[in-house]
A and B are shown apart, each in its own frame.
Chain A
């Protein structure tokens, strides 16, 4: 042992000069490479010789891994339609792929990679609210890069300090929480216990639900946060079932719920279930057995049935063989179109210019819808100096001053006969304080 130690030290001493040189060489390279990248590559991108690069950061691994590949497919569909119509500013659009691993830290690292190394002009991603918050606070806001989230629903994102570079194509959970509360009361539940993922998403939606439920005379017996990836959720479940609520409200993602829903049913003390959008996953119920969850109800942001929405679903089915049952696909698809149309209207691929044009192309003007031919028509309208109003597959997408969509819809879904079915779609208008939404009290 002692001998080995001395040899080790000797080796290090002999190698000091060589080591020093290597360290200096690496240090010099570390200084020079970003300089080169900054001075030579960036201006070229801004001068329009480069294509529009849209970076995506979706969860291919981790708790939300059911969603990532499907989201990427939806984005790819939009890009292929746009490129078929000639691309943006005369160049085909490039779609870049990042993996968020359902982790805020990983999302920020991928955002940095996509922007600094791959030259993304805008990002779609931050799928979970926690991921989106991190990207907005540490990348989008400070660096002025446009970020659109298709699915981050936390009310906290409304007021986040984003320098106006953060938008979303889905409606805030201030709305979903209200509808969840409405549904719970309509089903006759007096008492509810919320089991929620300890994250921006879980907390935000839970607060909105609790505010709505108590405002309507319901009683919330307990609010229990849970962590991802646990060996057992028995004590979390007990904290809820001990209070004997009429309904257990689950606000989580499928991987954790796959463990706790099973334990809940096995405990024999399962109350009725009301589940959030994160748990609208057919894989989840497939693995646990559909029959144990027959009649379970949930909510998720959705859209009123529209021609545009059906056309998108048909295109997805045609391109990928089946329409996945995960929510937010149309929202991903619309985010790509919004970025492309805004870049076209701005006549530039610069992130700030795209951002400045985004609200204009989304509201007031000649209606424009997604699709290859429709895109050509929209580009021609822009070329003729017309103002366009993008009407997406997910909804009309008009933005307020916070970058939130002002009009949307919440879908009420249910587990029925071995499938997830949509029971009804409730349109919402948040512009004139039309709902008793707790938007005035966004979560921290």
Chain B
């Protein structure tokens, strides 16, 4: 937050020094990324509808995870490099809750007789989705299970470090260690090969004016939208949300005004964990379960949070969608090979940060 304040000071000095023209130029510079992204967004939605839709689907997964990441950074003060792996771990917990399967000693799985899939009618498919109510329950279980896991990691690793005055870099590196440990757990329990919630080919739907998409992807979009709205209401319409935002702005002042910042911190991990776990399960539904996938996606998720302005939840959500759409549409247009998806995303990120160092929504806070 100090950096934002500093920059505002510098900006004001610039404005006062070089007069009205400089002020206008600065405002234009700050508006430029919005204009460019807006034009690109509309153009790609019209010209590259297919890639745009895929971008929104993938982006909504980034978005949910990035909201969790940005809350953790803003309130708990942790650059959480274990975020991708925790996301994947949650997806595996969902898988376990659903099937009861863990990797056995040999090549075959051991299936415990307590998976939700064994409930009567749990795998009977809802509408055109590839899954029944069993998986929905499993996702809820995974989301709830992520809360104590993240709280325990915070209690065991980050809080002791922070209370001893460890620097941001030390905490960030410790979270990298947590990431590796979490990945190890996934490898140990579920083995290295890819897994899926449902086998075989999934049903697709064709909506008027839209490209054909897999029915499960509608579920992903709807769930992401509902959770985003719920997070918005929580943060901007409840006392807890107000306390969280106050703590993010200035922890000392928040504490002085009687906010229990310890409790706010725990709630932050809980909310972030819930969102991230659901994002992980939806990712597994879209792609697959693989112990490495979470860490690979950590980069675009961080890019989403930074693009939106790190610490800003609505910024992270928009950032996630932008990162998803840029990744898919730039390669879809055929200008550049698909191998450079992430590279293009980061060029856009750097350009936006050059014009708006605080990210798209950063300078407002």
Contact = CB atoms under 8 A, between A and B. Distances in A.
Interface of A: 1, 4-5, 7-8, 11, 60-62, 65-66, 69, 198, 224-232, 234-236, 238-239, 254-255, 258-259, 262, 265-268, 283, 286-289, 292
A198 B283 CA distance: 23
A232 B54 contact: yes
A7 B58 CA distance: 45
A56 B54 CA distance: 41
Contact of A65 (B50, B58, B193, B201): B193
B310 interface: no
Given A231-B283, A266-B201, A287-B196, A226 B290 contact: no
B200 A292 contact: yes
A292 B201 CA distance: 8
Contacts of B163: 4
Contacts of A262: 201-202
Given A5-B165, A236-B338, A267-B204, 16 more contacts: A4-B163, A61-B187, A225-B338, A227-B338, A231-B286, A231-B287, A232-B54, A234-B328, A235-B328, A235-B338, A238-B51, A239-B331, A239-B338, A255-B194, A265-B201, A289-B199
25 contacts: A4-B165, A5-B165, A11-B165, A61-B187, A61-B292, A62-B292, A65-B192, A225-B337, A225-B339, A231-B286, A231-B293, A232-B57, A232-B58, A234-B328, A235-B327, A236-B331, A236-B338, A239-B332, A239-B334, A259-B194, A259-B288, A266-B202, A267-B212, A287-B196, A289-B201
Interface of B: 50-51, 54, 57-58, 61, 107, 163-166, 187, 191-196, 199-202, 204, 212, 214, 251-252, 283, 286-288, 290-293, 296-297, 327-329, 331-332, 334, 337-339, 341-342
A76 to B, nearest CB: 14
B341 A227 contact: yes
Which of A60, A229, A231, A259 counts the most B-chain CB atoms under 10 A from its CB? A231
A49 B106 CA distance: 36
Contacts of B283: 231
A231 B338 contact: no
Contact of A66 (B50, B193, B204, B331): B193
A1 B334 CA distance: 51
Contacts of A239: 331-332, 334, 338
A239 B57 CA distance: 19
Contacts of B187: 61
A65 B193 CA distance: 6
A431 B296 CA distance: 43
Contacts of B291: 61
Nearest to B284: A231
A235 B331 contact: yes
A61 B201 contact: no
B292 A229 contact: yes
A304 B332 CA distance: 43
A62 B201 contact: no
Which of B58, B297, B339 counts the most A-chain CB atoms under 10 A from its CB? B339
Nearest to A230: B287
A235 B54 contact: yes
Given A4-B165, A259-B287, A287-B196, A226 B204 contact: no
B349 to A, nearest CB: 18
Contacts of A11: 165
B61 A231 contact: yes
Nearest to B206: A268
Given A224-B338, A289-B200, A231 B297 contact: yes
Contact of A229 (B51, B296, B337): B296
B201 A60 contact: no
B204 A258 contact: no
A181 B287 CA distance: 31
A22 B341 CA distance: 46
A259 B54 CA distance: 14
A254 B12 CA distance: 56
B201 A226 contact: no
B201 A8 contact: no
Contact of B192 (A61, A258, A267): A61
A69 B187 CA distance: 14
Nearest 3 interchain pairs by C-beta: A8-B165, A65-B192, A289-B200
Contacts of B331: 235-236, 239
Nearest to B187: A61
B194 A266 contact: no
Contacts of A234: 50-51, 54, 328
B193 A255 contact: yes
Contacts of A232: 54, 57-58, 286-287, 328
A60 B201 CA distance: 27
A293 to B, nearest CB: 10
Which of B51, B192, B296 counts the most A-chain CB atoms under 10 A from its CB? B192
B23 to A, nearest CB: 34
A229 B290 CA distance: 8
A268 B296 contact: no
Contact of A198 (B50, B107, B339): B339
A68 to B, nearest CB: 8
A226 B338 contact: yes
Contacts of A235: 51, 54, 327-329, 331-332, 338, 341
A292 B204 CA distance: 15
Contacts of A228: 292, 296
Given A8-B164, A239-B334, A287 B212 contact: no
A259 B287 CA distance: 6
